[in-house]
A = this chain, B = another copy of it.
Amino acid sequence: MDLDLRKLRYFVAVAEHRNFGRAAEQLYITQPVLSRQVRAFEQELECTLLVRTTRSVELTAAGKQLYEEAQGILASVAAAVRRVNDVGRSVQRLVVAFSPGLHVSDAIRAFTRRHPQVRTDVVPTRWWEQDAPLRDGRAQVGYLRRPFDDSGLHTIPIGHEPRVACLPAAHPLACRGELTSADLADERMLDTPTRRTSSLEEKFELIASGHGVALVPLSVARSYSRPDLVHLPVADVPGIETCLVALADRREKLLRDFLEVATTTLRNA
C-alpha cells in the first residue's frame, strides 16, 4: 500500500531494458540487489509484474499497466518538486513543450527580454502524446503540431506548413522532382501513430532501411536531413497546422504574456 518510488524506478528500469543486468548497471546497483528489490515490489503490490525465464524478461498485463502509470507518476513528482523549489527560492519559471522539429528559441528570447527574472525551460514531447507534458504539469505552454487531443486546451493556430514525402535515396521515386499522393498509393506509410516508432530517428531509420515511407512536416525534413533519405514535395496532400497551446483553465499572467509575445514573434518570423 505504501509504494516506494525507489522500487518503482527500479521496476521501470527493468521494464525498459527487459534485462536485470543492464538495468542494474544503469541504476548503479548490482544485479542481485535489483532482482530482490523488484521481487519484493511485486510482493508489496501482491501482483506479478514480470515473467522471467532464465533467458528473457517480459511484462505481464499488470506490468504494462504499471509501466504506463509510472511514466506519469514520476514525471509529475519531478515537476512538483521543481515547482516547490522554485517557490522556495522565489523563482518564476515557464516551461515550454515543443514537438520535434519546431523551434521556440525566438519566442523564448523575446519573452526573456521582457521578463528577465523568469527562468525558461523547454521539454520535448513525443509525437504520439504531444499533450502529455502540459497535462501532467511538466510544462505550462506547448508549441505543438496537429493533430493532438485538444480537449481542455486553449489553442492558438500560429502557422501552417506543407508536408513532404520522405523516401529512401535508393527508391525509384527518389529521382522525381515532385510527387502526387497517387505516386505513394502503393507504398507502406509509416504515419499511423503506432508506438512502435517511438522517435523520429527511429522512423527515419525504418524508412532508410526500406520498411516504408512517410509524410513529414517540412521543418522536420529540414532538421533531420541525412544522405540516405530524400524529401520530395507532394502536390496534393494537405499541410499541417502548428499551434500554441495551454491548459484552458490557466490564467497566470506569465502564461498570458508568453502567449502574446510568442504570437507576435512568430507572426513576424
A190: CB under 8 A from chain B?
Answer: no
Q: A2-B5, A152-B151, A248-B152 are in contact. Are A84 and B60 (CB under 8 A)?
A: no
**Interface with B: A14-22, A71-79, A115-123, A160-168, which one?**
A71-79
**Interface with B: A29-37, A40-48, A180-188, A222-230, which one?**
A40-48
- Provide the bound-state CA to CA distance between A60 and B4, in Å: 26
Contact yes or no, A88 B60, CB < 8 A: yes
Which of A85, A149, A153 has the largest number of chain B CB atoms within 10 A? A85
> Chain B residues near A170 (CB, 8 Å)?
none
> Chain B residues near A247 (CB, 8 Å)?
151
Sample 18 A-B pairs with CB under 8 A, ordered by A number. Answer: A2-B6, A5-B5, A46-B85, A47-B88, A60-B88, A61-B87, A61-B88, A62-B85, A64-B87, A66-B80, A69-B80, A69-B83, A69-B84, A149-B249, A151-B151, A151-B248, A152-B153, A152-B248
The 5 A-B pairs with the shortest beta carbon distances in the complex, nearest first, are A152-B152, A62-B88, A47-B88, A69-B80, A151-B248
Residues in chain A within 8 A of chain B (CB atoms): 1-6, 45-49, 60-62, 64-66, 69-70, 72-73, 76-77, 80-81, 83-85, 87-89, 149, 151-153, 247-249
